[in-house]
Amino acid sequence: MKRRCTAQIHGRGFSLIVVLMMLLVVSVLGIGAAQMSLVNERSARNDRDTEVAFQAAEAALVDAESDVLGPNDSTHQRLCLFSGKDVAAFVAGCGGEGEHQGLCAPGEPGSEPAWRSADFSADAAKSVAYGTFTGQHYLSGDSARGMHAGALSARAPRYIVEALRHRGGWQADQLQSASAGEARFVFRVTAIGYGMREETQVVLQTSLYKAGSPGCPS
């Protein structure tokens, strides 16, 4: 009788261990699945944030193209400042004010490009906020309120324009003279867009060649 009771107790103890082992395995699998779900959600959120920033940076490039090349009917337009022969309006360190805002003078050969150290902060006069010289408006989180603000860029995109000496090559039959009087320039635009979180940023660049603008000195 004692042997039978002892066997039953041992059997129950073994069953309890098996149940506890199964509960442990199920718990580990559940925690793993929950963590995987959180990682996937975070990844999807980051991808969406990056896409919002990318679209904002693209919008800033388009706005800068209108600023430099036109057409631009805004009362604040500055099309005549962008001349392939005269870049006197461009300021060293992009530190211009008013219509010179965000215009970066050519650096010395071998020096660090202006966009590497440009100040794109919201209150900086060294970069241009979207629409400043075109009259366009970019709906962003810092200007929107309510439930729709969360799906927008944290703030409006910005850009700078660098004057770069053009050394020829874009047209096979035209080469630039080495003399300063014959120097011509192209304009490199660097734009930054922000995601729904301001720390998510995308930077895009493009180079623009401008032959001239109607009504501007040639």
Cβ atoms of 207 and 188 within 8 Å: the answer is yes
- Tens of pLDDT, residue by residue over 4-32, are 555 555 556 667 777 788 888 888 887 87
DSSP string, 93-120: GG---GGGTTEEPPPPTTSPPHHHH---
Q: Which tens digits make up the pLDDT trace of 90-118? A: 988 887 788 999 999 988 777 888 898 88
User: Could you state, in order of their start, the residue ranges of all structural domains in the chain?
Assistant: 55-208
pLDDT of amino acid 147:
46
In angstroms, the CA 53 to CA 154 distance is 9
DSSP E strand stretches across the chain = 103-104, 128-129, 158-166, 184-194, 201-208
Which pLDDT score is estimated for 191?
A: 97
Q: Which pLDDT belongs to residue 212?
A: 75
Nearest Cα to Cα of residue 190 among 82, 123, 104: 104
Beta bridge partners of 162: 104, 188
Round the CA-based radius of gyration of the chain to a whole number and report it. Answer: 30
Q: Which residue has the higher pLDDT, 36 or 217?
A: 36
Give residue-wise pLDDT tens across range 154-190.
899 999 999 998 766 555 555 555 454 556 889 999 9
Residues 6+ apart with CB under 8 A from 133: 67, 72, 74, 76, 77, 78, 99
More reliable by pLDDT, 205 or 1? 205
> Residue 213: helix, strand or coil by DSSP?
coil
